[in-house]
């Protein structure tokens, strides 16, 4: 963690370290000096994977940065980003974001789930195995989700009571095998 040892405040130190993790976790190039990175302010939540990092701003927007081989930054490209970049279509209305190995998902304030990035095993939950470079709605998870989490190649949605929407895993077995839905 030598890259993270600075004289900054604890908050700025954490944010700068998370930025470096998202950008340089698997990078083969030298990172810029911390002084060259602008401060990341107004952040409500951060999620970092080994390839990229995403954050939700206080205004409910989603920013991502780091590797982008499969579109996991959600900016409509596959271009690596050194600085936080706006995720297409998620300028507001998001309460949480979670970063997987090569995909990301966001939970909106109405409880809808959108995912983007690598979809080799159908982990985006859109009934395909097509990679997505912009956020795509998860099949049958348009409202009511309370929390989300992603693994390397999976997505988990949590409902706090009420009925689980009819996610037909049998009909979409090949593509929804890595989407799990739970209710308390």
Q: What is the pLDDT of residues 141-176, one digit of tens each?
A: 788 888 888 888 877 777 766 555 544 333 333 344
pLDDT digits (tens, 9 = 90+) for 5-26: 344 333 444 555 555 555 544 4
CATH fold for domain 42-183: Methylamine Dehydrogenase; Chain H (2.130.10)
Span of 33-37, 67-71, 114-118 with lowest mean pLDDT? 33-37
Give the separation between CA 170 and CA 177, rounded to whole angstroms. Answer: 9
**Could you write out the DSSP letters of every residue in 124-166?**
T-SSS---EEEEEEPTT-SS---EEEE-SS-EEEEESSSPPP-
Instruction: Report domain extents, the chain.
Output: 42-183
Helix (H) or strand (E) holding 180: strand 179-183
| Closest by CA position to 148, among listed 120, 184, 111, 116 | 111
Rounded alpha-carbon distances, angstroms, from residue 52 to 99, 146, 166:
7, 24, 32
DSSP string, 3-43: GG--SS-HHHHHHHHHHHHHHHSS--SPPPPGGGSPP--SE
pLDDT of residue 35: 53
Mean pLDDT, residues 78-96 = 96
What average pLDDT does range 102-110 have in this prediction? 96
Of 123 and 116, which is predicted with more confidence?
116
Percent of the chain with pLDDT over 90: 47
Confidence of residue 32 (pLDDT cuts 50, 70, 90): low
């Amino acid at each position: 963690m030598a890259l993270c040892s600075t004289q900054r405040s604890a908050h700025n130190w954490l944010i700068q370290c998370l930025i470096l993790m998202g950008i340089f976790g698997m990078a083969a190039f030298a990172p810029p000096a911390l002084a060259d990175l602008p401060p990341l302010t107004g952040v409500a939540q951060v999620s970092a994977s080994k390839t990229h990092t995403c954050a939700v701003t206080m205004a409910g927007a989603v920013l991502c940065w780091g590797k982008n081989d499969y579109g996991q930054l959600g900016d409509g490209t596959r271009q690596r980003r050194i600085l936080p970049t706006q995720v297409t279509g998620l300028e507001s209305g998001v309460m949480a974001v979670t970063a997987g190995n090569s995909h990301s998902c966001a939970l909106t304030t109405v409880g809808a789930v959108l995912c983007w990035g690598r979809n080799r095993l159908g982990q985006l939950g859109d009934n395909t195995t097509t990679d997505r470079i912009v956020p795509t709605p998860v099949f049958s998870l348009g409202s009511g989700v309370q929390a989300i989490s992603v693994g390397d190649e999976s997505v988990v949605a949590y409902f706090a009571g009420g009925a689980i929407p009819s996610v037909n895993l049998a009909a979409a077995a090949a593509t929804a095998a890595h989407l799990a839905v739970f209710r308390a």
